[in-house]
Amino acid sequence: MTTSRVAIVGGSGRMGSWFSQYFKDKKYSVVLSARNREKLIAAAKKLGVSYAENNVEAVKNADLVMVSVPISSTVSIIKEIAPFLNPKTILFDIASVKGDIPKTLEEQSLKYGFKAVSVHPMFGPGATSLKGHTVAIIPIPGSEDAAAKLEQLFSDDGARVVVTDGKTHDRMISVVLGLPHFLNILFGAALLEVPEAISQIREFSGTTFELQLLLAECVFGEDPELYSEIQMVNKDFVNFLGKLEKVFSDLKKTIEQNNEVVFFKNFERVREKLAQDTKYASAYNNLYKIIKILKNG
C-alpha cells in the first residue's frame, strides 16, 4: 500500500479520531474535517494531525478518504465529496448499516472515476488495536483492487476480515447488533417498571442478572444517535421485529397457559441450535470466569 495522505470526514468523532490515530501511527499524513470548527480544531490538536476548512478541501489530493459521519448522513457526504476525488483515490465509509451506501459508492465512483469500498469495523473506539477484531469489507463493482488493498492493510494489522455484500451485511448486522441492542434496551426499559433502586435490586442479584446488567449498562452508556440509527435505519432489523413479536407472544402464551410440554420442546429446539456453537460447552465455565473478574474489580 503506497497511500500517504488520508482525509477523514467526521474526523472529530469517536471512530474518526480512532482511525486518525491508527493512520498516524502508520506514518500517513492525516487531515480531518467536520462541521463544528471548535471541536474539529481540538480533535486535530489532541491527535497531532491537520484539519481542513471543509469536507471538499480535506479530500482534494487525498489517496485515501474515510467517511466517518452518522449513518444517515453518509450517502449525502459521499455525493458531496465525490466530484473532487482523483482517479487514484480510494474512498471508503465505515457506516454500521449499509442500506443505499454500496449502490451510491458504485454510482459515484463510476461517474467520477475513483475507487470505492464499503467497510464496517466491528468494534468501537475503545479497541486498543485492530488485532483480533473483525472488519467487514464490501467490494464495490469496478473497484475490486481497492477492496483487496484495504483487506491487506487491515489483515496485516491482525484484523479478521470478512468479505461480504451489502445485503448480507445488513441482514447479519440486524442479528449481531440490532437484536442484542434491542434486548438490552428492552431490559433497561423493563427496569423502569421495578420501583426499587438498582442498589436494592442488586442485593438479590445472581450471576445472570449481574452479567445482563453489565451489558445493559454498556448499551445505555453509548450514544443514543448511533444506537437509534442501528435500530431504525436497518430495514432488515425493522422487519425482524415482526418475527420477534411473534416469538414473544408465543412464549408469553406458553407461560400463561403453564404449558410445560411446549416450553420444553422450544427449549430443546433452541438448545440444539446453540449447541452447534463451538463455545457452547465452555459457556457455563466462561460465565463464572467473567463473574470472578467482575467481583475482583
- CB within 8 Å of 239: residues ≥ 6 apart: none
102 binds ligand NAP (CB under 6 A): no
DSSP state string for 191-247: HTTS-S-HHHHHTT--HHHHHHHHHHHHHHTS-HHHHHHHHHT-HHHHHHHHHHHHH
The span from the CA of 157 to the CA of 22, in Å, is 10
Residue number with CB closer to ligand NAP (55 or 231): 55
- Least separation, in Å, of the C-beta of 29 and ligand NAP? 19
Rule CB under 6 A: say whether 180 interacts with ligand NAP.
no
Which CB atom, from 50 or from 208, has the smaller least distance to ligand NAP? 50
Q: For residues 115 and 120, which CB has a smaller minimum distance to ligand NAP in the complex? A: 120
Strand partners, 121: 135
Please count the other Cβ atoms lying within 10 Å of the Cβ belonging to residue 27: 7
Q: Which is nearer to ligand NAP, 64 or 77 (CB)?
A: 77
The reply on whether position 178 binds ligand NAP by CB under 6 A is no
Q: Candidates 31-39, 165-173, 194-202, 242-250 — which segment interacts with ligand NAP by CB under 6 A?
A: 31-39
Is there binding between residue 56 and ligand NAP (CB under 6 A)? no
Q: List the one residue from 1, 4, 25, 39 that touches ligand NAP (CB under 6 A).
A: 39
**Exposed, middle or buried: residue 14 (CB in 10 Å: 0-12, 13-18, 19+)?**
middle
Distance CA 111, CA 245 (A): 43
Q: Which three cell numbers stand for residue 116?
A: 470505492
Residue bearing cell 494489522 = 157
The answer to whether 200 and 209 have CB atoms below 8 angstroms apart is: no
Binding span for ligand NAP by CB under 6 A among 63-71, 82-90, 196-204, 240-248: 63-71
Give the residue with the Cβ less far from ligand NAP, 155 or 254. Answer: 155
Nearer to ligand NAP, 96 or 174 (CB): 96
Binder of ligand NAP out of 3, 6, 7, 12 (CB under 6 A):
12
Which region, judged by CB under 6 A, interacts with ligand NAP, from 64-72, 98-106, 156-164, 209-217?
A: 64-72
Quote the strand ranges of 72-150, DSSP E.
90-93, 115-121, 134-139
Instruction: Kindly tell me which of 95 and 213 has the beta carbon lying closer to ligand NAP.
Output: 95
Position 45 contacts ligand NAP (CB under 6 A): no
Query: Which one of 65, 71, 82, 147 is in contact with ligand NAP (CB under 6 A)?
Result: 71
Residue nearest to ligand NAP (CB): 13
Compute φ and ψ for 118, nearest 5 degrees.
Answer: -110, 130
Q: Answer yes or no whether residue 232 interacts with ligand NAP by CB under 6 A.
A: no
Say if residues 120 and 136 touch (Cβ distance below 8 Å): yes
Q: Can residue 153 be called a binding residue for ligand NAP (CB under 6 A)?
A: no
* Separation between Cα atoms, residue 186 and residue 231, nearest integer Å: 12
Q: C-beta of 200: minimal distance to ligand NAP in Å?
A: 32
Structure-derived torsion over alpha carbons of residues 256, 258, 261, 263, reported in degrees to the nearest 10: 50
- What residue ranges bind ligand NAP (CB under 6 A)? 9-10, 12-16, 33-36, 39, 55, 68-71, 73-74, 77, 94-96, 121, 124-125, 226
